[in-house]
Copies of this chain bind each other. A is one copy, B any other.
Amino acid sequence: MAMQHLDPRDPRTRHAGPSPAPGSARAGGTPTGDALAGYLRAQATEFLRALRLHRETGTTAGGPNGAAGPEDPVDAARALRRAVRRVSGSLHTFRPVLDPDWSESIRPELAWLSGTLAMEHAYAARLERLLLALHRLSGAVFPAQSALGTAVGGRSAGAGPDPRKADPGTAGPPTHPASPDRGNLTVGAAKAGALLERQLTLARTRAHSTALQALGSSRFHAVADHIAVLASEVPLTSAAATTDLRPLASAAEERLTDAVTALPLVTAGHPYNAEALNHGLSPDPAPHPQDAPWHQVRLLLRLHRYAREVLEGADAPVDVRLLTAGQALDRHRDASEAAAAAAQAARTPRIAPATAYALGVLHADQRHEVEAARFAFQQSWQKQTVGTP
């Protein structure tokens, strides 16, 4: 029965099952709790499918030495993260129509899972970004896209125990055909690359272990059970069936536009404003505080996008400009973290001056990527505002 209370703690709770519950019909196309229930069921189903796939493709899933295939563990992990983000985001935006006890208890668990699953990929992508940048800076001819496409699943474990001893001509024999060839790099760039590869591969390996442990933990099994229930029955409030979701989605959009309004978009719209590298040599070792509002907008943009997905369904046309703006903010985040990783690597004790110099150039390069991403966001956002009647 769709009206049964799976959670006895809250009498307001009703669970929307796979078939439409009585009284939950949309009022003249108005998206109500049922639209949310359908969306959450679909995401939960996708989560379970990705989890099964992840288990089937082996416990080396997404590991540093795992082989990449068409339906490989990297894809499965990505699908897992994707579904978790959507469930988590929808729970946030549409909180008022969901059983509060249930959603408040599961949301931190989803955040934990999402964060844990994201780390390995983040380290791999960061290393790839930094090595590509080093090759660009060295003027090496290098098939960037092909390497980028395969290396996340197939990068070797690094260049040896001590990158400072690396020979620029022979440092770290590439174990993957698409690995960047360090033969064209200067001593400094080669050493910087080896140092970053060592540090980020280590971080990635740890993140991989942490993710594997997490996926085997009772904590994860509890989350998975929650999501399994969600795939069949969504714990909505009793008023959800007649609640218009649009004001909740609008509120999410308003939070986004407010945050965008607070961004320094006039500055960002002036090319080469040199803002992003300001304080680049500041004594403060913390990540650039100027980046935080942009990271926040990135999250709010994602929530807005998911809210649109809930309201408009899977068949809704993709808003290209929203997508472009989101990609600019992804690039902003990635470059910001890559710049921080280069700065961090430069604080490694006893590195050679040439290595430190290359890391300084690399840091500044990524900070300019940050600035370029802000410019790209400003451009796409302006278009959006102008284009919307």
Chain A interface residues toward B at CB < 8 A: 134, 136-139, 185-186, 188-189, 271-272, 274, 277-283, 346, 351-365, 368-369, 371-372, 375-376
- Minimum Cβ distance to chain B for residue A339 (Å): 10
Apart from the given pairs A271-B271, A272-B376, A361-B361, 9 other A-B contacts in the complex at a CB distance below 8 Å: A138-B282, A186-B281, A186-B283, A272-B272, A272-B369, A280-B365, A353-B355, A357-B360, A368-B368
User: Complex formed: what's the CA distance from A134 to B186 in Å?
Assistant: 25
Closest residue to A345 on the B side, CB-wise? Answer: B357
What residues on B are CB-neighbors of A375 within 8 Å?
271-272
- Minimum Cβ distance to chain B for residue A289 (Å): 10
What residues on B are CB-neighbors of A280 within 8 Å?
137, 361, 365
- Minimum Cβ distance to chain B for residue A313 (Å): 37
Overall SS of chain A's interface: helix
- Minimum Cβ distance to chain B for residue A105 (Å): 43
A-B contact list, 16 entries, CB within 8 Å: A138-B282, A139-B279, A271-B272, A271-B375, A272-B371, A277-B365, A280-B365, A281-B358, A346-B357, A351-B353, A355-B356, A357-B363, A358-B360, A360-B361, A360-B364, A361-B361
- Minimum Cβ distance to chain B for residue A269 (Å): 10
Closest residue to A270 on the B side, CB-wise? Answer: B271
- Minimum Cβ distance to chain B for residue A66 (Å): 31
What residues on B are CB-neighbors of A138 within 8 Å?
279, 281-283
What residues on B are CB-neighbors of A283 within 8 Å?
138, 186
What residues on B are CB-neighbors of A137 within 8 Å?
277-282
- Minimum Cβ distance to chain B for residue A287 (Å): 14
What residues on B are CB-neighbors of A356 within 8 Å?
353-357, 360
- Minimum Cβ distance to chain B for residue A35 (Å): 40
Closest residue to A280 on the B side, CB-wise? Answer: B137
Contact B371 A281 (CB under 8 A): no
Closest residue to A354 on the B side, CB-wise? Answer: B356
Choice from B274, B355, B358, B362 contacting A136 with Cβ under 8 Å = B274
A185-B272 CB under 8 A given contacts A360-B358, A365-B364: no
Q: Which of A137, A283, A357 has the most CB of B within 10 A?
A: A357
User: Complex formed: what's the CA distance from A191 to B245 in Å?
Assistant: 59
- Minimum Cβ distance to chain B for residue A281 (Å): 4
Contact B281 A185 (CB under 8 A): yes
User: Complex formed: what's the CA distance from A214 to B194 in Å?
Assistant: 51
What residues on B are CB-neighbors of A185 within 8 Å?
281
Choice from B139, B271, B363, B369 contacting A360 with Cβ under 8 Å = B363
Choice from B279, B355, B368 contacting A274 with Cβ under 8 Å = B368
The 6 closest A-B pairs by CB, nearest first: A360-B360, A364-B364, A271-B271, A272-B372, A139-B279, A353-B356
Closest residue to A138 on the B side, CB-wise? Answer: B281
